[in-house]
Structure 1
């Protein structure tokens, strides 16, 4: 490919990585946010002055709903960016008689102020500019412009962002800045304990001396995802079926818990999958995990006496980790680490029980993988 063709290709957009449901969610969120902004403006400030600010709030909606993990669209940049820019714009309009110079300085000084206050928000430039060129209706507001329509509009966008961006599972708004353990410990989550940490990303960002539209935690997640893909590629064809335990105990859904506990004790295992009448996996019977929340031995004994006659279908975990037997082992490592599951149920192509993979199975696999890698390196060095 010629250099000229390569240069033109750089102008083309990258392939889309956002699904259509996500695009629709972003569009609906933006529309509802601006509707709320307009209603606030009509209620607090009848006339057209309040609606002028909807232009910059529309740009904010693009960031808050289209790019909800962007640092530029988090609550402080959203609120602080608009307020600081509005203050700069009003001051420039009042203190600088020449309109063109006032408009230019309003935007330039707003950028400096937002960066200094750690609330960079691109639509803030429009908010500062509107304070200068918005006409008599805006100029008459004076410093009231900061409260209505700027603060009220930004608050409307934030309110809708908090509502809609948290409706979907797996999404959090405001963005969680750190990948801490969900147990409240300061240690990072297990899947985040790689060679590159959040602090390394923060230092690398500082060296670039540019504003990157990703937090160090997001960059760490991106690195970890790339690491998993690289591990899957380098691991080759090894699948979960290759390391799964096949001769496993399974329990009928109507088996009394007392009989199930006896079978677990005979096999010296702590849990077993539960099957319905058609042989499909419907849960996991794990009595040890059922009792882990009992604060005292007496309560645990009372629970055992109460449960022993019930069928396992009433006591099982209904959503255990289940994976296909053709899943690459590298992908399984990521899933078990993220879910903190001690055991996963392996299913065949028909959805029937294929086997189980425990943490022990994974540790043995990792040990063998490291052993062979070490032996291969020694052999290469000797040759």
Structure 2
């Protein structure tokens, strides 16, 4: 059953809008090409449109990023294959062997000229089956058909936000080297460009990173060992805690343990008429008189992805984490966020 399941078609990972874009593009491309070629042929009995062009249209409009669908493979692959087949017709070895030789030689020529294009094999077979021995057939209609279809593909794909011809992305030397080694071991022709493959790998890693990031909450990264001070403490009692515990902010609580503010060394410096000897003297100002009362707090269930904009845009460096009773549970700092992001990124980069 596992072997038989390989014959079942897999789902197309595109929506209905993309399906409509492909269908409309292929129809317009073939329609315009056929109309122009028919008009140019006039009343001549020679063929003005070749059947393999339909397969070329599938590639140009459905997978415009494929290496097999780029302008040179379409034009060169079809034309070169037709010329090779015409040469094979001169051997007079019988239709069966001529067909086999023409298709094989066409594939070899396309690989050598870096214009591998599946419909090219059909062009070679078309020449043999119709007994065509005139090299001009490779120019009209094959070359003309291919050029017009590529021009239609360039206009339509660009108009529908699909880059064509596909331009290689800026190289990342280390990543490219790894990818080249993997592709060398794979040793097969891929119907996807190298840079698009790299982009898919990077997007997949980013998606995994974002998924892991979405699972992290404030309780997973917060520092639970926090030092709190009472709003009624004198400054002389609170000040030494900054150096003693090597911290830069302390939540301020009331008699019930509820958060009422936050105090930092900057709050001390902003004290009215700051003078260390006077401000920190016993019986001087209290913490509640200099603390910052408007405090941005978060719950323990808050997602890490929601905390990043707070640190990035509001200038906050410390966010107290509180429970339902407004009591401090911990503190999230910028360092905690950076450490969480680094750890998540490393896990995303590890093979699964």
TM class, shorter-length: 0.5 to 0.7
Map 1:74-85 → 2, pairs under 5 A: 74-85=70-81
Q: 1:371 to 1:66 in 2, by over 3 A?
A: closer
Q: TM-score, normalised by structure 2?
A: 0.62
Whole-Å separation in 2 of the counterparts to 1:370 and 1:210: 37
Q: Partners of 1:199 and 1:237 in 2: how far apart?
A: 33
- For residue 50 of structure 1, give the secondary structure of its aligned residue in structure 2: coil
**Count of residues in correspondence between the two structures:** 247
**Which of residues 94, 113, 118 in structure 1 aligns to 2:114?**
118
Which whole-Å CA distance do the structure 1 matches of 2:126 and 2:165 have between them? 27
- The aligned residue for residue 226 of structure 1 is 204
Contact 1:40-1:152 at 8 Å conserved across structures = no
Q: Is 1:211 matched with 2:189?
A: yes
Deviation at 1:373, TM superposition (A): 7.6
Say whether the 8 Å CA contact 2:84–2:124 is kept in structure 1. Answer: yes
With the length of structure 1 as denominator, give the TM-score of the two structures. 0.57
Worse overlay, 25-34 or 40-49: 40-49
Which of the residues 67, 73, 80 maps onto 2:63? 67
Aligned-partner Cα distance in 2 for 1:174–1:94 = 36
Q: What SS does structure 1 have at the residue aligned with 2:189?
A: coil
For residue 143 of structure 1, the aligned residue among 104, 122, 135 is 135
Distance 1:25 1:239, change over 3 A: farther
Cα 1:223–1:50 shift into 2, 3 Å: same
Greater Cα radius of gyration, structure 1 or 2: 2
For 1:369, the equivalent position in structure 2 comes to 340
Q: Secondary structure of the equivalent of 1:155?
A: helix
Residue 174 of structure 1, aligned match among 149, 152, 165: 165
Report the CA distance between 1:20 and its aligned residue: 1.0
Displacement of 1:370 = 5.6
Residue from 96, 99, 102 that aligns with 2:98: 102
Equivalent of 1:235 in 182, 204, 213: 213
CA contact (8 A) 1:103 1:133 kept: yes
Give CA-to-partner distance per residue, 1:206-225, whole Å, 9 cap, x none. 22221111222111111111
SS of corresponding position for 1:166: helix
- Give deviations 1:257-308, integer Å, cap 9, x for gaps: xxxxxxxxxxxxxxxxxxxxxxxxxxxxxxxxxxxxxxxxxxxxxxxxxxxx
Partners in 2 of 1:359 and 1:115 — Cα distance?
Answer: 58
Tell whether the 8 Å contact from 1:64 to 1:73 is kept in structure 2 after alignment.
yes
Bigger relative contact order, structure 1 or 2 (CA pairs below 8 A, ≥6 apart) = 2
Structure 1: runs of 5+ lacking an equivalent: 181-186, 244-325, 334-345, 347-354, 375-383
User: Does 1:152 pair with 2:144?
Assistant: yes
Query: Could you say which residue in structure 1 is the equivalent of 2:249?
Result: none
Contact 2:311 2:334 in 1 (8 A): no
Structure 1 residues 95 and 327: CA distance shift in structure 2, 3 A: farther
- 1:365 CA displacement: 6.5
Cα deviation digits, residues 172-199 of structure 1 (max 9, x gap): 1111222x2xxxxxx75xxxx9xx7133
Whole-Å Cα distance in 2 between the matches of residues 40 and 68 of structure 1?
23
CA displacement, residues 216-238 of structure 1 (integer Å, 9 cap, x when unaligned): 21111111111012112322434
Indicate yes or no: 2:22 matched with 1:26.
yes
Structure 2 counterpart of 1:200:
178
Task: Please state whether the residue corresponding to 1:207 is helix, strand or coil.
Answer: helix
Residues 328, 86 of structure 1: CA spacing in aligned structure 2 closer, same or farther, 3 A cutoff?
farther
